[in-house]
Amino acid sequence: MRMLKTTAVMAGAAVLAMAGTAFGQDLTGGPPSPEDVPTARPVAVGLAGAPTPDLVRYLMVRGAVGARLSPDGRSLAYLSNVTGEPQIWIVPAVGGAPKQLTFGSTVNSVNWTPDGSALLYAADTAGDEQQGFYLLGPNGLHERVLIPKAEAYRQFGGFSSDGRRFIYSSTERNGRDFDVYVGDVATGQTRLVHQGSFGVYVAAWQPDGDLVVLSETRGEDGADLSLLNLATGEVRSLIKPDVPSANEEVVFTPDGKGFYLITNVDRDFRAIGHYDLASGELKIVEQDDHELEQMTLSKDGRWLGWTLNEDGFDSLHVRDLSTGRDVAIPDLPHGNLGLAFADDAPVAMVNVSASDAVAEPMVWNLMDGSISRPVRTNWAGLDPATMSKPEAVRFTGRDGTALSGLLYLPAPAADGSKPPLILRLHGGPSSQARPGWNGSTQYLVARGMAVLDFNYRGSTGFGKAFAMLNDKRLRPNELGDLEDAVAYVRGTGQVDADRVAVMGGSYGGYLTNAAVGTYPKLFDAGVSMVGVMNWVSALEGASPALKASDWVEYGNIDNPADRAFFASISPINNIDRIRTPLVVVHGANDPRDPTTESDMLVRGVRANGVDVLYLRFADEGHGVSKVANQVHMWNAIGDFLTRRFGMTD
């Protein structure tokens, strides 16, 4: 590993002896100024085909988010924010007029009951992630509260085969640990069936049985598996390797004697495995020199499907287990793919997201190969042929680490000038730059800016070893990757080397905050969204779901050595060095990275006399979901970057 001596690392932990205090300034409190709380105006759409890119149209490009195929394969339920907030819509699988089913607060997810007679959906309040569960008839005429909202975090786990019971994880016992509960669909009454510690979630429920596979978090992309017997309460460990490993996408075989899963136990790349409950044997049944993902099995056990991830782009594979032969795959857009089988029909849904297809589900008849497209992308007056298609780029960092990203380039400028560069940093950090539709990226590119969506060390999609390169004490090394990425793109001659900005959300927001303090002369602008400034306060105030993974990914903040280390690498140490003009975005209801993190950043940087635009939305959480707020935010970001880059539309 390279010896990257950032100022943040060399700064002493004593600087953060008092959380939120730096260089004698008290940086805590509410929003620094009333003007920092924006009031979104009504959305106004510009003329189609106008020379200046119309942000509203990019944000109004819509598809079917979180689509779910009904058990009989005849209907498709999905989420759309066409009304301004995500709501449930339903459409026949063969196509037709979609119908809106919900009209209240933001819907987070939707699932069919096993018999298809109802939809179970989850909804929170203004992004606080504290969900209630609701049952809704597919005609939209009958609705009832199944589990009311409360001051608890919940994650739905599925239904029993007969649909009479449902299972979920919740922190309602002590506000910290996720326990497992089983509820009665008819009455809504629940009972505690397993008392967990930190992050314990339901991975799969045995068909017509009482065995449940539980997933216990070991880092952001690792999990151990155990088996809970609902009849006896007994729990036994199934998979708990010495090295934290991914064990996900668990699905039981029809006989309930074992299950398929995606795993990287004792291997670098994720593969498809089969676990036998009687023998305890984990056998690899499909592997590649790239990551296998999105694995699923049809209810009757005939069809096994998965995707292969290469540089973020997916290829789809389906095998007929009755013959052992792979099925011919229909032509699909080049992007990201998801697969789900209907329970009671030989039908599958392939969900596509790409630069020319936005969350577009295709319903595929596995017997005759026919395809229907019940929800086409609504391009909101934009021409999909003009969207920038990303190019996968690979290069080597200063210590020999293989790095990569997706590079989006604008159309050539009329005067032959080269575009400025935005280094875009994904969250996670256990995530990956993927080529699915991103309206904000396409909007910035349409305004003449190049975007490198960057996979710094610790990103997923490139094997377990690469994903672990920024764990715990290795974390400072990823900052050098950002400088190396800028140097690489500059070296290609495709961008203007003197105009560069950095942008990121969540963990990418932390990296943005760290980068502008570590490299004060590298960037002309920064855009920090829901990012961390003080790791001590952020790890202490994180939501229970994050705390469950933080011990492996970061360390135990209650351990003095870990606490001192994270104090030393906190961006707040370098706040006096930040001279980069910033846009800072945060939601007041954020349960993951407390809003005080951005409050501290804004106060400190403004004290340096640096230009900071703060967008502190009162009705958002960990991100910005409401369309009116998105329009306000991205218009402000686009205008800010245009000014900093000296551009004219």
Q: What is the CB neighbour count within 10 angstroms for residue 394?
A: 11
In the chain, the domains with their CATH numbers are 22-56+382-535+568-645 (3.40.50.1820)
Give the containing element (helix H, strand E) for 422. Answer: strand 421-425
Q: What is the pTM of this model?
A: 0.87
Looking at residues 545-552, what average pLDDT do you find? 60
Confidence of residue 283 (pLDDT cuts 50, 70, 90): very high
Contact 526, 583 (CB under 8 A): yes
> 539 or 421, which is more confident?
421
What pLDDT score does 430 carry?
86
pLDDT of residue 473 exceeding 50: yes
Tokens describing residue 106: 């933001």
Lowest-pLDDT choice from 39-43, 167-171, 288-292: 39-43
Q: Find the farthest-apart pair of alpha carbons in the chain and give their distance in angstroms, rounded.
A: 74
pLDDT digits 0-9 by tens, 511-541: 999 999 999 999 999 999 999 898 888 778 7
Confidence of residue 1 (pLDDT cuts 50, 70, 90): very low
In eight-state DSSP terms, residue 434 is -
Looking at residues 150-171, what average pLDDT do you find? 96
Lowest-pLDDT choice from 4-8, 362-366, 534-538: 4-8
Looking at residues 258-269, what average pLDDT do you find? 97
pLDDT of residue 474 exceeding 80: yes
pLDDT of residue 17 exceeding 70: no
Lowest-pLDDT choice from 27-31, 374-378, 576-580: 27-31
pLDDT of residue 554 exceeding 90: no
Confidence of residue 26 (pLDDT cuts 50, 70, 90): low
What pLDDT score does 173 carry?
94
**Average pLDDT over the chain, rounded to an integer:** 90
pLDDT digits 0-9 by tens, 93-110: 999 999 999 998 889 999
What pLDDT score does 497 carry?
86
**CA–CA gap between residue 294 and residue 558 (Å, rounded):** 36
Bridge partners, residue 252, by sequence: 259
Percent of the chain residues past pLDDT 90, beyond the cut: 74
Nearest Cα to Cα of residue 287 among 267, 302, 303, 311: 267
What pLDDT score does 547 carry?
58
Lowest-pLDDT choice from 47-51, 458-462, 523-527: 47-51
What pLDDT score does 428 carry?
85
Lowest-pLDDT choice from 331-345, 544-558, 576-590: 544-558
Nearest Cα to Cα of residue 112 among 137, 87, 94, 131: 137
Residue type, 126: A
pLDDT of residue 75 exceeding 70: yes
**CA–CA gap between residue 534 and residue 75 (Å, rounded):** 47
